[in-house]
Amino acid sequence: MTAEPDPQPAATGPDSQPAAAPGALLRPVRLGNAFEDTVGRLLETIRLGVLGPGESLPPERELAARLGVSRDTVREAIKSLADAGYLVSKRGRYGGTFLAAELPALPTSSHRPTREEIDDALRLREILEVGAARMAAGRTLSAAERDGLWSRLADVRAAEPDDYRRLDSRLHLAIAEAAGSPSLVPLVAENRMRLNALLDQIPLLPRNIAHSDEQHEEIVMAILAGDSERAAAAMLAHVGGSSALLHGFLD
């Protein structure tokens, strides 16, 4: 990967001042979900008012050091939030990355979820889906079950953005089915409906989708290899990525 020169500290124009985000917010992230956690940390500084409209983020190099991630990860997170309308990048003497003057409105919903509701859905997901991955890997799967997992994995990898949630849910339900407990599937399905209602309120980030696809493959490969602990660990990391984004955008 070609190294890029370190950016100069963002100079301030007449209408902006650099914000010194406290270290308590820009703290090291979990490397298993470095991109998602970095997006979550940056959103936290925005949503808590640490950055005001038009104020600049610290330079990429400083953010990377504070968060304990690579500058490439910081750059991808900034680009994703710029694409979503939260940040604006400017070049020139007064260049840098700035908070947008007006933040984008999230899709309207008749009910704004509380942190407790988000946590409840995510904790239940962890209990159900990490256990499902572990149990599926511990079983001797039939040829049809193995083919079904591969098929669902291929479907979600090829999904168009407007069909991603549906095909993602089908893969996770296939994993629940492979666990061999018929009672588990409707529980996972019900929780997925809750999660999708939450996820529909935040933007789809292409880098997160690519990362999710990698995690999906790791989960399925571990299940097919019969490695229960690896499957559970991969699912736990996957759940953690969704958690970081949901809390970042909706808290």
Predicted TM-score (pTM) of the model is: 0.75
Is 65 in the same domain as 123? no
- Residue 223 lies in domain: 115-250
Which of 75, 104, 133 is at the close of a domain? 104
Is 83 in the same domain as 192? no
Model pLDDT for residues 110-165, shown as the tens digit of each residue: 577 889 999 999 999 999 999 999 999 999 999 999 999 999 999 999 999 988 98
Model pLDDT for residues 165-197, shown as the tens digit of each residue: 889 999 999 999 999 998 999 899 899 989 988
Is 171 in the same domain as 93? no
List the one residue out of 163, 213, 10, 159 whose CA is nearest residue 95: 10
Q: Quote the number of domains for the chain.
A: 2
What pLDDT score was predicted for residue 241?
Answer: 94
Is 133 in the same domain as 233? yes
Which of 104, 133, 149 is at the close of a domain? 104
Model pLDDT for residues 55-113, shown as the tens digit of each residue: 889 899 999 999 999 999 999 999 999 999 999 988 877 778 999 988 887 665 557 78
User: Residue ranges of the alpha helices (H) in the chain?
Assistant: 34-47, 60-67, 71-83, 115-125, 131-137, 143-157, 164-178, 184-199, 206-224, 228-250
Model pLDDT for residues 25-54, shown as the tens digit of each residue: 677 887 788 999 999 889 878 876 677 788
205 domain residue, yes or no? yes
Flag whether pLDDT at 227 surpasses 70: yes
127 domain residue, yes or no? yes
List the one residue out of 90, 9, 104 whose CA is nearest residue 47: 104
Q: For residues 187 and 173, what is the distance between their CA atoms, to the nearest angstrom?
A: 10
Question: What CATH number does residue 32 fall under?
Answer: 1.10.10.10
